[in-house]
Amino acid sequence: MVIRVAEKKDCKRLLELIQELAEYEKAPNEVTVTLEEFEEAGFGRSAVWKAFVAEIDGIVQGFALYYIRYSTWKGCRLYLEDFLVTEQFRGRGIGKRLFDRIVQEAREKDFNGMSWQVLDWNEPAINFYKKYNASFDPEWLNASLTKEQIANLTHLLTDQTI
């Protein structure tokens, strides 16, 4: 097994693993990003994400994808967006090696911390993170707007032109 930085050629496989993660999280229809959008976001002129992959016998079987998040209270932090090891390779220490690599990245880049989300029913993941003495915050609720919702908000937006 090799842990390495993701390359553009990995994007198709990463999207397959992202779909596997969505199915595990009971949201198989929520993945709507195209391969082209995904590649551009990771390897285009204004790339926003980076990832490490776990490659076994030449096939990516796990990944940890992150981006830099800025907190006005804490400064630059690593945000772990997705973290997955394929089901058939779980329990072999691959997740630990990927997570350790992400922690090392946060240390090397001198980020002021790292954060991520975990579903409250995902006991295996929660137990994994507890081994790292992770803090869990029950106070904050997730909020979001879809592209369609944003497009439909024009009637609420204040005209900012001068």
pLDDT tens for residues 11-58?
A: 999 999 999 999 999 999 999 999 999 999 999 999 999 999 999 999
Beta pairing, strands 50-56 & 75-85: unpaired
> Does residue 24 have an active-site annotation?
no
Q: In this structure, is residue 41 part of a structural domain?
A: yes
The rounded percent of the chain whose pLDDT value lies above 90 is 85
The number of distinct structural domains making up the chain is 1
Q: State pTM to two decimals.
A: 0.91
Q: In this structure, is residue 158 part of a structural domain?
A: no
Q: In this structure, is residue 81 part of a structural domain?
A: yes
- From the candidates 24, 70, 129, 132, give the one annotated as an active-site residue: 129
CATH code of 120's domain: 3.40.630.30
Q: In this structure, is residue 156 part of a structural domain?
A: no
- The band of 161, judged by pLDDT with boundaries at 50, 70 and 90, is low
Domain of residue 66: give its range.
Answer: 2-151
Q: In this structure, is residue 157 part of a structural domain?
A: no
Least confident residue range of 16-20, 25-29, 100-104, 147-151: 147-151
- Nearest in space to 39 (alpha carbons), one of 9, 81, 69: 9
Q: In this structure, is residue 161 part of a structural domain?
A: no
Q: In this structure, is residue 138 part of a structural domain?
A: yes
In sequence order, which ranges of 56-153 are alpha helices (DSSP H)? 94-108, 123-130, 147-151
- The band of 147, judged by pLDDT with boundaries at 50, 70 and 90, is confident
Q: In this structure, is residue 73 part of a structural domain?
A: yes
pLDDT tens for residues 60-86?
A: 999 999 999 999 999 999 999 999 999
- Checking if the pLDDT of 162 tops 60, the result is no
- Checking if the pLDDT of 154 tops 80, the result is no
C-alpha torsion 64→66→71→77, nearest 10: 60
The whole-number pLDDT of residue 160 equals: 61
